[in-house]
Structure 1
Amino acid sequence: MAIAEAGSIPVIDVRTIPRMERHPRIFAMVDGLAPGATFVLASDHDPRPLHYQLEMAFPTELTWEYLEQGPDLWRVEIGRNDGQGCDCCCGSH
C-alpha cells in the first residue's frame, strides 16, 4: 500500500507507486491537507524537484522538513501552515 499511518501522521511511500502517478498523488495529498496537518513522504531519491514544484503551486502555504537524507531513503515531512502569524523569512510579524 502506498499510504500508511505512522502514529497519526500519514506516510506516502512513492517507491511503491508507478512513476507517472507519483506527483499527481502527492499533489492530491497536499490539496487535502487541513491547516496544521502534515504527512511524511518516503522516497529512494532526494525529492528536491518536487519541493520546487510544491513551492510554485503553494507559495508560503507549506512546510518541508527533511527527516532522513539518504543515501537509500529520503523522508520528508510536508505540512500545511496553520495560518497563524507570518511564515515569511523574518518571522517577526
Structure 2
Amino acid sequence: MPATELDLREMPPPERHPKIHSAFDDLDAGEVLRIVNDHEPKPLFYEMQAEVETFDAEGYDCRKVEDGKYVADLPKEA
C-alpha cells in the first residue's frame, strides 16, 4: 500500500489532529497515512474510529521504534 508520512514530533500538539485529518482526507482509497509521533496515538485511533467513516480500524498498526518515537499506520479503506 502506498504511504504518506507525516512527522508530528516538532509540531505543536494543538495543530496535530487537524493536520492528520487533512492529510488523511487527501489520501486515495487504499492508501496509508503513516504518522511519526512522540507518544502512542491511542486517543487518535479512537477519534478516527468514531468520526472517520473511511478509516480502516482493523488495518491500523502502531509500533514503538524507540523512546519518544512511535510510528502508526492509518489506512484508508479501499
In the alignment, which of 44, 50, 53 is matched to residue 47 of structure 2?
Answer: 53
The TM-score, its normalising length taken from structure 2, stands at 0.81
Deviations 1:2-43 (A, max 9, x none): xxxxxx632111112111110000011111121101121101
Matched, 1:81 2:68: no
Root-mean-square deviation (CA, aligned residues, Å) is: 1.7
Higher normalized contact order (CA 8 Å, seq sep 6+, divided by chain length): 2
Deviations 1:57-88 (A, max 9, x none): 1246323112x225321101111011xxxxxx
* Percent identity for Structure 1 against Structure 2: 24
State TM-score, norm by structure 1.
0.69
- Which ranges in structure 1 are unaligned for 5 or more consecutive residues? 1-7, 83-93
Which sits farther off after the overlay, 20-29 or 53-62? Answer: 53-62
Q: Indicate conservation of the 8 Å contact 2:31/2:75, yes or no.
A: yes
For the pair 1:72 / 2:72, whether they are aligned, the reply is no
The 5 A counterparts of 1:1-93 are: 9-59=3-53, 61-62=55-56, 63-66=59-62, 68-69=63-64, 70-82=66-78
Q: Paired residues, what number?
A: 74
Between structure 1 and structure 2, the one with the greater Rg is: 1
Matched AA of 1:43 = N
The runs of 5 or more residues in structure 2 that have no matched partner are: none
- Runs of 4+ aligned residues of structure 1 deviating over 3 Å after TM superposition are none
